[in-house]
Amino acid sequence: MARTTPVKKAWRSLTWLLVITAVLTGVLAYGVIFEKASWAPKLALDLEGGTQITLAPKLGAGEGAPSAEQLDQAVSIIRQRIDASGVSEAEIATQGASNIVVSIPGTPDEETLRRIESSAKLEFRPVIFTDVAATSAAGSTESPAPTDGATPAPTPSLATTSTAVPTDASDPNWVSPALFDAYTNFDCTTLDKADTNVAPEADPLITCEASADGKYSYKYILGPVEVSGDTISDASSGLIANSQGVSTGTWGVFITFNDKGTGEFADVTQRLSGFDPKTDVRNRFAIVLDGKVISAPTTQAVITDGKPQISGSFDQKSAKTLGDQLKFGALPLSFVVQSNETISATLGAAQLNSGIVAGLIGLILVVIYSLFQYRMLGLVTVASLVVAGVLTYLMIAILSWRQGYRLSLAGVAGLIVAIGFTADSFIVYFERIRDELRDGRGLPGAVEAGWKRALRTIFAAKAVNLLSAVVLFILAVGNVRGFALTLGLTTVIDVLIVILFTHPILQLLASTRFFSSGHPLSGLDPNALGAVYRGRAQFRAPVLSPAKAGASREAARRQTIAERKAAELTGTSARGASSTTADGKDS
């Protein structure tokens, strides 16, 4: 193998690094120019402040204060919902006897607020009666149908005088004259204000369907709850595909029921599909969220797999919000936003500056120590750390834009600590090269051979770090996730740098006179490394080989007299045996 190959490879790697850096910069630049990104990473609550939202429970008349368990459960669910929207390091705590305080960095938009406060109590109720809501659709003949092909067709034969006891949830006998009267007088615009849309699960419910613009298009009388949201085991959002598997371009929420829910859902769809979808509204099944109908699709077939889709007036964001809300369960209580105020940082710029100053001092100390230990090679460490720093900064700024990542003071400390972890890859590598030099290799050979061994060690060790980051990110909640993201990020960048920067630079340096001649200041002086003691004449000219036996060969050669004699006595002539193995492996 000629020397040109490592050099060519080195340039190729460096080009790749340049391309990666350019792409990351480009992505961030795009974000800054066309979207809401900024060049600097966003800061977390402790450094920048944000918004404090106080939630008070919505209590009916005569209801006592919520129990501590209910509040804890609510805090936990709200936390999971906020976590699902990114890693923003929100702070959620109970306050006083019944309130929950949510502090989040920045200013929350409508979507975030809904994500937090909505109790996400989902119910499936059969439709008994419906007509177009007077408030929104009056005069509008273009009123959009809530779901494909579901034209509201009031059942003309509706009995308004109910005497018989209803036999099932779709039975028109639920509609008593009083209920029908309430229905006629029900004003959909009052839905947001009052608790009018709350009814016990076993009773019928009068409510309306909300469309995307917040208006109410249909008014319903719904039967008792047939399938409750408690039976949902998982939920997600995505584009709805038609029966051919082609995306329809509409967003929806996909629900997976547990066994109980699956069974109940199958029973209901069995019964409802018996009604004619064209003439009987009782064919429709209303999905009710927090007392409002999201959609009331017609029942085309019996759903037995327990995996219905909810379509409605969703866009990507609102579908994801509902998916996340359902996934983590309904809040045990309904809450109203009591106050929504800006809140200042608790730490402020002084702490951040001190942190950065500490980091710089630390970095300078690392530089001094590296130069002391590795001479000119120390500069490679410094350059690698600088490149790693640039990539980390870019990635954090991008994550801050895409994932809502926020840099807290603890995060800054974590990044400073990463200097040490990153530098270790270089130390492992340099020490390997030195080991190879001690074995009497020439520098280019030592760089290649040392690299092969070092890379294996680096991969194994970094895999452990990455594993901890991935596990913590997936399983943990709250602040721990932010930490895990930082750890995973720095680990990946570290490996990237050592492959695409440190190694190529050393390959290039190895071809320079200064280093390959082993200048005393290069940090790779074979004399200082004791290679000469061993008599270089014993070794072949430096060759590029995957030398697997370097260290053991070395160990064998350096045995003490007693050990050698001992080895000879046991019948394994150490020198002979080890040189044969070495030759065998090298050739």
Binding test (CB under 8 A) with another protein, winner from 320, 441, 462, 503: 462
CB of 98 to another protein, least distance (A): 11
- Could you say which residues in the range 314-333 bind another protein, by CB under 8 A? none
Binding test (CB under 8 A) with another protein, winner from 21, 25, 70, 94: 94
User: Are the beta carbons of 465 and 454 closer than 8 angstroms?
Assistant: no
- Could you say which residues in the range 204-233 bind another protein, by CB under 8 A? none
CB of 587 to another protein, least distance (A): 17
Binding test (CB under 8 A) with another protein, winner from 28, 31, 46, 265: 46
- Could you say which residues in the range 470-489 bind another protein, by CB under 8 A? 471-472, 474-480, 483, 487
Binding test (CB under 8 A) with another protein, winner from 176, 196, 270, 559: 559
Each residue of 297-318: b (16+ CB within 10 Å) or e? bbbeeebeebebebbbbbeebb
Cα–Cα distances (Å) from 84 to 75, 89, 105, 291, in that order, read: 14, 11, 15, 24
Among the candidate windows 151-159, 208-216, 226-234, 559-567, which touches another protein by CB under 8 A?
559-567
Residue 72 or 195 with smaller CB distance to another protein? 72
CB of 514 to another protein, least distance (A): 18
Question: Applying CB under 8 A, does 587 fall inside the site for another protein?
Answer: no
Binding test (CB under 8 A) with another protein, winner from 33, 569, 584, 587: 569
CB of 557 to another protein, least distance (A): 8
CA dist 146 and 578 (Å) reads: 82
- Determine the distance from the C-alpha atom of residue 551 to the mean position of all C-alpha atoms in its chain, rounded to a whole number: 43
Binding test (CB under 8 A) with another protein, winner from 3, 393, 551, 586: 551
Task: Count the alpha carbons within 13 Å of 131 in the hemisphere toward its beta carbon.
Answer: 13
Residue with the two structure tokens 């006891």: 165
- Could you say which residues in the range 235-274 bind another protein, by CB under 8 A? none
Binding test (CB under 8 A) with another protein, winner from 37, 310, 396, 549: 549
CB of 488 to another protein, least distance (A): 10
CA dist 491 and 460 (Å) reads: 12
Question: Applying CB under 8 A, does 40 fall inside the site for another protein?
Answer: no
Residue 337 or 555 with smaller CB distance to another protein? 555
Question: Applying CB under 8 A, does 586 fall inside the site for another protein?
Answer: no
- Could you say which residues in the range 125-164 bind another protein, by CB under 8 A? none
- Could you say which residues in the range 398-457 bind another protein, by CB under 8 A? 408-410, 413-414, 416-417, 419-421, 423-424, 427-428, 431, 434-435, 438, 453, 456-457
Helices marked H in 186-282 — which ranges? Answer: 259-272
The token duo for 27 is 């992505």
Nearest to 220 by CA among 270, 261, 179: 179
Size of the site for another protein (CB under 8 A): 109
3-class secondary-structure state, position 339 = strand
Residue with the two structure tokens 């480009």: 26
The token duo for 161 is 């005088």
CB of 384 to another protein, least distance (A): 12
User: Are the beta carbons of 66 and 333 closer than 8 angstroms?
Assistant: yes
Among the candidate windows 112-120, 251-259, 363-371, 441-449, which touches another protein by CB under 8 A?
363-371
CB of 380 to another protein, least distance (A): 14
CA dist 446 and 525 (Å) reads: 12
- Could you say which residues in the range 499-518 bind another protein, by CB under 8 A? none
CB of 448 to another protein, least distance (A): 17
Helices marked H in 279-408 — which ranges? Answer: 316-327, 349-374, 376-402
Question: Applying CB under 8 A, does 95 fall inside the site for another protein?
Answer: yes
CB of 189 to another protein, least distance (A): 31
Binding mask 62-91 for another protein (x = CB under 8 A): ---------xx--xx--x-----------x
Question: In the 3-class helix/strand/coil scheme, how is 460-522 assigned residue by residue?
Answer: HHHHHHHHHHHHHHHHCCCHHHHHHHHHHHHHHHHHHHHHHHHHHHHHHHHCCHHHHCCCHHH
User: Are the beta carbons of 501 and 12 closer than 8 angstroms?
Assistant: no
Cα–Cα distances (Å) from 236 to 38, 249, 314, 318, in that order, read: 30, 16, 13, 12
Residue 308 or 518 with smaller CB distance to another protein? 518
CB of 228 to another protein, least distance (A): 24
| Region of residue 326 (left: phi > 0; alpha: psi -120 to 50; beta: else) | alpha
